[in-house]
Structure 1
Amino acid sequence: MSSTPSTPRAHGWVVVGLLSVALCGCSSLTGDTSGSGGGDNGGAAAGSSAADGPEVPAFAADLERVCTEGLGYPGMPAYDRTKKTVHPAVLMNDPGDGWSQSEPPTGDYPKGWVLGYSDKPAAAELVVCVERTKASATGVECDMESDGKPFTVRTYDTSYRLKVVEARTGEELYTYAGEAGSDECPMYVFTTEGEDRDKYFNEVRPKDYRKRVQPFIAP
């Protein structure tokens, strides 16, 4: 990775609010800028169970335990890979500050493969877990601008762990360790209130691991 000051630099603007967006017209966007604030279908809550049925997740955030502890929900649909049909999944992401649901951008996956924020998480057969495991400074610095005030963003390459887990049983079906990196400046920087806006992490994008999860979701 380059650490010289010749890295592309540019200026843009920012919309201030609960979610801030800083612009940089230096290069095409690399990494997933969806941030760590993915939807959770109403917020975190403990897994619930109907009085007359086995336990199911009330919200997507409840699926954290499937990713971290291998604890499934008996009330979720059984997964049978021998059936040549779509086995819907919920995508869970942890960029370092906790697990939340993530919805791939339109066009990244065929319709029905990954449940969205408005879908019921209890309908999933699989949970795809993506966790950042390491971040390394690239030495690249990018000039950005927010409310007319310039600031510098330093970029970081990341390592991640990808897992495909059966939602009902918590059984791990597949695991992969990979890296996401770039020596370019981001076009946008998304930050939430209280987050360090001076750091930009090159994260793996959902479409980057589509071929890895496809054999399980759509065999």
Structure 2
Amino acid sequence: MQRARMWVTAGVLGMVLCGCSSPSGTSGTSGGGSGGSSAAGAAGAAEDEPEVPVTTQDLERVCTDGLGFAGLPAYDPKKKTVHPAQLMNSTGDGWTSGVPADGDFPKGWFLDYGDKPAQAELVVCVERTKATATGKVCDMEADGKPLKIRTYNTAYRLRVVEARTGKERYEHTGKVESDECPYYIFTSEGEDADKYYNEVEPKDYRKRVKPFIAP
């Protein structure tokens, strides 16, 4: 086994747990914080101006309530151009805005760190809907001490929603199952360090969102 490494980034504690099996892959998204959205997504806006999101996190309401923002650009599927989308993820406890890792999707498909949330035409909502224990236990290590990791298969729901209207354009449900142990996992404060979930990855739904983002 390799020795674990720990670090602190932006106030979140991370842990690498090294095992003996081959890498199983991680999704590589980076969240915009799972806290509540900024006040109504339009704080300080004039009453006669269409509402727009102030932060990408404000777009969580598109996933939770189907409530869009009238000030965002209209989605026209007839236009054969890239329709920028915001990625939102949920593991069952709120939604987090994310930016896919380089290489997960073609550049321009999803909003990047330097992009404004008001550019979004679509919101891609990816949520874990169920987790089932596989019964497999992986022997790993953290801080030089042995740690047993329990693995879980998951069910997920994928949706493509118009950011302006909240209209759902696409929905797909699926499962992610694996009997392999992870090579490493990342944990943050509040998460169970002894659990590993087989989550849906960008490569699993890239072709599904392409007809809407890049027709």
TM-score, length-scaled by structure 2: 0.90
Q: 1:150 aligns with which of 132, 138, 146?
A: 146
Q: 1:164 touches 1:172 (CA, 8 Å); kept in 2?
A: yes
Q: Which residue of 1 aligns with 2:67?
A: 71
Instruction: State the secondary structure of the residue aligned to 2:75.
Output: coil
Larger mean Cα displacement after TM superposition, 51-60 or 20-29: 20-29
Q: Which residue of 1 aligns with 2:18?
A: 24
Cα separation, 2, equivalents of 1:101 and 1:32 = 17
Q: 2:19 touches 2:140 (CA, 8 Å); kept in 1?
A: no
Task: Report the alpha carbon displacement of residue 34 of structure 1 after superposing the two structures with TM.
Answer: 4.2
Task: Report the alpha carbon displacement of residue 81 of structure 1 after superposing the two structures with TM.
Answer: 0.4
Report Cα offsets for 1:55-104 as digits up to 9, x if no partner. Answer: 00111111111001110000001000000000000000001221011221
The answer for unaligned runs of 5 or more in structure 1 is: 1-9
Larger mean Cα displacement after TM superposition, 138-147 or 39-48: 39-48
Query: How many residues are paired up?
Result: 209
Cα separation, 2, equivalents of 1:214 and 1:128 = 11
Q: 1:25 touches 1:187 (CA, 8 Å); kept in 2?
A: yes
Larger mean Cα displacement after TM superposition, 165-174 or 96-105: 96-105
Instruction: State the secondary structure of the residue aligned to 2:99.
Output: coil
Identity of aligned residues (%): 64
TM-score, length-scaled by structure 1: 0.88
Cα 1:40–1:20 change in 2 (3 A) is closer
Report Cα offsets for 1:179-208 as digits up to 9, x if no partner. Answer: 112111111111112321011111001221
Which residue identity lines up with residue 120 of structure 1 in the other structure? Answer: K
Report Cα offsets for 1:25-50 as digits up to 9, x if no partner. Answer: 42333353547x61259973131163
Cα separation, 2, equivalents of 1:39 and 1:215 = 26
Q: 1:117 aligns with which of 93, 113, 118?
A: 113
Cα 1:28–1:117 change in 2 (3 A) is farther
Q: 2:104 aligns with which of 108, 113, 116?
A: 108
Instruction: State the secondary structure of the residue aligned to 2:86.
Output: strand
Q: Which structure ranks higher in relative contact order (CA pairs < 8 Å, sequence separation ≥ 6)?
A: 1
